[in-house]
Structure 1
Amino acid sequence: MTNESIVIKHNNASIIIPVSDPTTQIVVNVFTQIGCIPKECECTEIDIPDPVGPCDSLKPFAKIPEVGELWPCQGGINAGLVDTLGDVPAHYLIVAEKDLPTTYTWGGHGISSKAKSKTDGHRNTIMLLDEDSEHPAAKAAAEYQADGHKDFYLPAPAELHQVCLNLSIRLNFNGNYYWSSMEEAGANNHAYALDLSTYSQGRHSKLTPLSVRPTRRIYLTA
């Protein structure tokens, strides 16, 4: 092999690229950071290592963890499969590993909200953030990020129920009430919350500071 071509190797596969080939410039740009520029150092072989890390975040179904286990690169713990409901496709519900570090009021006290879905926290959260009144719990959930994901939301009551049923022992919720994203129908001073350690749902004043556990979805069509 002469310095007029280079060999790129990955495991048992290899490809020979002439130095004069335009593709070589791409190789030069990529491998500058590891100190091998073919035209300058006259190296003739470049070995590409396997990607570092336990998963590919763009391929979440490569290995689906058991319910209650951390889903690598997906922002939290697998809370189980949710069937298609209405216009919401089937998906896995992912819950953040920990509560947000403080408590939050629901917001919008005395003002009627359109966030009334029992099952679709994502839709509720969008509605809350579009309203004129402040909604601290929903805002905090939507701003949460993990593993590069920015699509978290404040879960609906049914989603909190699923988290409670599947993860209450795994996550040790310690008897705290957690805000859902659903306002109580006909009562613009209250919204629903759930004690995730006892499966107790209750209505609370929107002015009450409660815990928040963000959730997100992995759609089966991903």
Structure 2
Amino acid sequence: MNAQQQLTPPAIGEVWPGQGGIYGGLRQYPEGLCHIIFAAEDIGRHAYGDYGVSVEAVSRTDGRANTAILIAREGKHPAAIAASGYNADGHKNFYLPSIGELHHGWQYAPESFSEEWYYLSSTQYSAHYAYYMDFEDGWLSDYGKDLERLVRPVRRFLQ
């Protein structure tokens, strides 16, 4: 496969060979318009962590920024640690998606996610709760940071 073929995205919801997972389309981020890639698989169930502690990971749109904040808390956020440790096709820049990024997945590639369990986001709701996404019916809600939920890493890169 040549370089041009690798940079031509497939249809949304399809695996993008060489890019680490399922193509989710384009999203606007602080650095510009980016392609979003969802890992092709869940990486288990993990807790958000730091139950009872308010952290600054409150972006509803930028999971990478949230994950960096959570990782800096030195081992207190299992879901963020698991997501940031994921790699596929040589890409090691995955992170725990924000609630907006999970909602994007539900809007554009819902068949790529399980409807049987909730997906945890990197977006904190309060000291005791974090946001999650239910892919069965599209509910966005909050749940205890000490409870385990599915984790699906995501990555992005400039268009």
Choose 1 or 2 for highest CA Rg: 1
Deviation per CA, 1:127-151, whole angstroms, max 9, x where unpaired?
1001246100000000000000000
The answer to whether residue 124 in structure 2 is matched with residue 179 in structure 1 is no
In the alignment, the residues of structure 1 paired with residue 107 and residue 92 of structure 2 have an alpha-carbon distance, to the nearest angstrom, of 25
Greater strand share, structure number: 2
In the alignment, the residues of structure 1 paired with residue 5 and residue 124 of structure 2 have an alpha-carbon distance, to the nearest angstrom, of 35
Give aligned pairs, total.
Answer: 159
Counterpart residue type for residue 112 of structure 1: S
Q: Do 2:75 and 2:81's aligned partners in 1 also have CA atoms closer than 8 Å?
A: no
- Structure 2: give runs of 5+ residues left out of the alignment: none
Q: Quote how far apart the aligned CAs of 1:166 are.
A: 0.9
Q: What are the residue-to-residue correspondences of 1:150-189 with 2, within 5 Å?
A: 150-169=92-111, 171-184=112-125, 187-189=126-128
Q: What TM-score comes out, normalization by structure 2 length?
A: 0.94
Counterpart of 2:24 in structure 1 is 79
Q: Secondary structure at the match of 1:165?
A: helix
Q: Do 1:107 and 1:207's aligned partners in 2 also have CA atoms closer than 8 Å?
A: yes
- Structure 1: give runs of 5+ residues left out of the alignment: 1-53
126-135 vs 153-162, which moves further: 126-135
Q: What are the residue-to-residue correspondences of 1:1-222 with 2, within 5 Å?
A: 54-56=1-3, 60-61=6-7, 63-83=8-28, 85=29, 87-100=30-43, 102-132=44-74, 134-169=76-111, 171-184=112-125, 187-220=126-159
Greater relative contact order, per chain length (Cα 8 Å cut-off, separation 6+): 2
**Post-superposition, which runs of at least 4 consecutive aligned residues in structure 1 deviate over 4 A?**
none
Q: Quote how far apart the aligned CAs of 1:172 are.
A: 4.6
C-alpha RMSD of matched pairs (Å): 1.6
Q: What TM-score comes out, normalization by structure 1 length?
A: 0.68
Counterpart residue type for residue 76 of structure 1: G
